[in-house]
Amino acid sequence: MVTAFECYFRTDDTLHAQGSGHLGKAHRPAEVVMIGHRQGLVSEIQRTLVRLAHEIIEKNNGADSIGLVGIKRRGIPLAQRLAKLISEIEKRPVDSGVLDISFYRDDLSTYDTRPVVTPGSIGFDVTGRKIILVDDVLYTGRTIRAALDALFDHGRPKQVQLLVLIDRGHRELPIEATFVGRNIQTTDKEIIEVKLQEVDNDEQVLLVERID
């Protein structure tokens, strides 16, 4: 068992260790990144989402025809939180849906991760809407490519924008996010792990190094 540092998701992007947790034997700590602020009433992750909600409203001149689609798994609670925030700001309901993309993967190997789209209903009609795809981490861009293909199988949006909590670089496809919570420089051997209350009963972002 190896220890990985926990740290705050800080608005000034500085790194600050606050404790430790345990990861499986395939990972070891690389460096401290960030964690949701547990002592505060509102986490720093949530504060970042508030900022992103305002950016969405500003770019789209309000919330008319906006729909948020979260990529399963952690994109879903992020999309739901953002939809609620935008709804509270704009005083109108905002749709939030789900796009299920499953992975055949082995985090202990060097084989590439291949995203596989799972058929299913998004939850609302995307045709003619401004759709904001939401995911936790943007890496090679393959997941977003698969998500775009799946999205257009469900309808033809007027426009598609991409929002990610973390952009870790290393793109293999010409895909960039419209809205980014944080840019974090990583190596190919490092993994960013996002944990959210709705999925993990925790609120943190860890940067760990994969052991070959």
Low-confidence stretches of the chain (pLDDT beneath 70)? 1-42, 103-115, 117-120, 212
Q: Which two tokens stand for residue 190?
A: 């490092």
| β-strand partners of 191 | 208
Shortest CA distance to 134 belongs to which of 109, 166, 157?
Answer: 166
Shortest CA distance to 82 belongs to which of 60, 111, 115, 103?
Answer: 60
Q: Say what the pLDDT of residue 118 is.
A: 65
Q: What is the pLDDT of residues 2-13, one digit of tens each?
A: 223 234 343 333
Q: Say what the pLDDT of residue 208 is.
A: 85
Q: What do you get for the CA distance between the two ends of the chain, in Å?
A: 16
Indicate the SS3 state at residue 128: coil
Indicate the SS3 state at residue 123: coil
Q: Say what the pLDDT of residue 75 is.
A: 95
Q: Are 143 and 115 spatial neighbours (Cβ–Cβ below 8 Å)?
A: yes
Which residues touch 41 (CB under 8 Å, ≥6 apart)? Answer: none
Q: Which two tokens stand for residue 41?
A: 């009433």
Q: Detail the DSSP E strand segments found in the chain.
A: 2-7, 17-23, 27-29, 34-35, 66-71, 95-99, 101-104, 114-117, 130-138, 159-167, 179-183, 190-195, 204-210
Question: Chain centroid to CA 31: how far?
Answer: 20
- Range 78-99 burial, b when 16+ CB lie within 10 A, else e: bbbbbbbbbbebeeeebbbbbb
Q: What is the pLDDT of residues 99-109, one digit of tens each?
A: 987 753 333 23
Which conformational region is residue 169 in: left (phi greater than 0), alpha (psi within -120 to 50 degrees), or beta? left
Q: Which two tokens stand for residue 64?
A: 């008319």
Give the Cα separation of 7 and 46 in Å (integer): 15
pTM, whole model, 2 decimals?
0.76
Q: Say what the pLDDT of residue 5 is.
A: 29
